[in-house]
Structure 1
């Protein structure tokens, strides 16, 4: 028995609500059945204009990705996902994420919570490079109105991503102070919002929850930036 066991702290700045079975049905019907925008995500917009939606689904026999920039989805597969094949489904946008569990037997929607929070516990946006081998021979654009790219590693591993793939590169970006510069990175990115928590028992602070917010190609969409040569964090941007 762990005498130090205690309830983990709640992440700050995030609301997570369980989806009723009929709302789970709506998600699956929209995304996999009719191939139209996920209404449950749009319900969480709270008056904001609708933006792109993305899909990342792990099935028992493979992975499905997709994007819905406007009214209809383009997915990496052409078949409806039977529930028994589902291990996890993530349907996400900049403002919210829906997660369905195994067999779509349960589901949750995560959105930003209202209210003011301490600066050191406020949500932070991050972007992670989607690693791919550099060179035209390692990627193939599938064409179409909604971009879709097949990327390949020398090992033979393939991934189908709903973005116009951009190889990783970097250039020096001069800062306002003479003689200083930052490395401006370009590539293909998965963006994430991190939510932090403080443990009242130990005082430890760390990431306690995250949700996916998008996929992008081009200049790195989030900070932080670091100075070339010193590695110091750059506050201006």
Structure 2
């Protein structure tokens, strides 16, 4: 019996060489410029130059986040934050637990100790509706109010917020407190329209060949944004049913 989990459908993954891993880390942490690999892609994963890029890096002694909407990064290890130094020269790569550099079209993941890396993006080809990738968004939670969450000055947004646990987080996005309003629907019901600060992801699904069961098998980060919830579904506040007004239904 095959014990391997089914592969995500519609997803292309390319393992990086050691030289490519080093190039990614050097671009982002040493030179402070946009990740060239996301711009150029690889032989089987296309690039998309000029798109915004984001950084989430988990280190053994802290976290570094950042945004690169143009040519240069603004990272949380730089002033006025600068609490955790970046994993700079090769001798410090042991501090890395995971580094994610991502944009709307692709994601680079560097694993623990920079021992391996991968780039992932959409794979070409048709899929049945129930296996097509879907875009989702997750609310980045923080305590409401300017005494808890604020956006720092600068051309590239960087926000400091207090998470519900009490931990301080530095996020590479302009901050907006969570709020919601009722929006009347065409059928007489009302949907909750949410606004706040969001992490967007793309879901990839897999199907068990033995049972036909379908489930999410991979998430690829695609961006951060502020404003109205960028993806569906939305739900009727009275019944809990999907309204079908925004996003792809389940």
Name the TM-score, length of structure 2 as normaliser: 0.88
**How far does residue 39 in structure 1 lie from its aligned partner after superposition?**
0.5
**How far does residue 181 in structure 1 lie from its aligned partner after superposition?**
2.2
**How far does residue 5 in structure 1 lie from its aligned partner after superposition?**
5.6
Q: How does 1:85-100 map to 2 (within 5 A)?
A: 85-100=95-110
1:191 to 2:200 alignment = yes
**How far does residue 125 in structure 1 lie from its aligned partner after superposition?**
0.8
1:125 to 2:135 alignment = yes
**How far does residue 80 in structure 1 lie from its aligned partner after superposition?**
3.7
Q: Distance in 1 between matches of 2:131 and 2:162?
A: 39
Q: Distance in 2 between matches of 1:122 and 1:115?
A: 10
**How far does residue 155 in structure 1 lie from its aligned partner after superposition?**
5.3
Contact 2:64–2:75 (CA under 8 A) maintained in structure 1: yes
Q: How does 1:1-237 map to 2 (within 5 A)?
A: 6-44=3-41, 46=46, 48=48, 50-78=50-78, 79-81=85-87, 82-153=92-163, 156-177=166-187, 179-237=188-246
Aligned residue for 1:41, secondary structure, equals: helix
User: How many residue pairs are counted as aligned between the two chains?
Assistant: 233
Q: Distance in 2 between matches of 1:83 and 1:235?
A: 47
Aligned residue for 2:191, secondary structure, equals: strand
Aligned residue for 1:187, secondary structure, equals: strand
Question: Bigger CA drift: 28-37 or 148-157?
Answer: 148-157
- More strand per residue: 1 or 2? 1
Q: Distance in 2 between matches of 1:211 and 1:111?
A: 8
In structure 2, list runs of 5 or more residues that go unmatched.
79-84
Q: Distance in 1 between matches of 2:133 and 2:164?
A: 37
Question: Bigger CA drift: 194-203 or 113-122?
Answer: 194-203
Question: Bigger CA drift: 5-14 or 100-109?
Answer: 5-14
1:197-234 CA-partner distances (Å, limit 9, x unpaired): 01012221101111111111111011011122111112
**How far does residue 47 in structure 1 lie from its aligned partner after superposition?**
7.0
Name the TM-score, length of structure 1 as normaliser: 0.93
Aligned residue for 2:222, secondary structure, equals: strand
Aligned residue for 1:150, secondary structure, equals: strand
**How far does residue 153 in structure 1 lie from its aligned partner after superposition?**
4.0
- Coordinate RMSD, CA, aligned: 1.6
In structure 1, list runs of 5 or more residues that go unmatched.
none
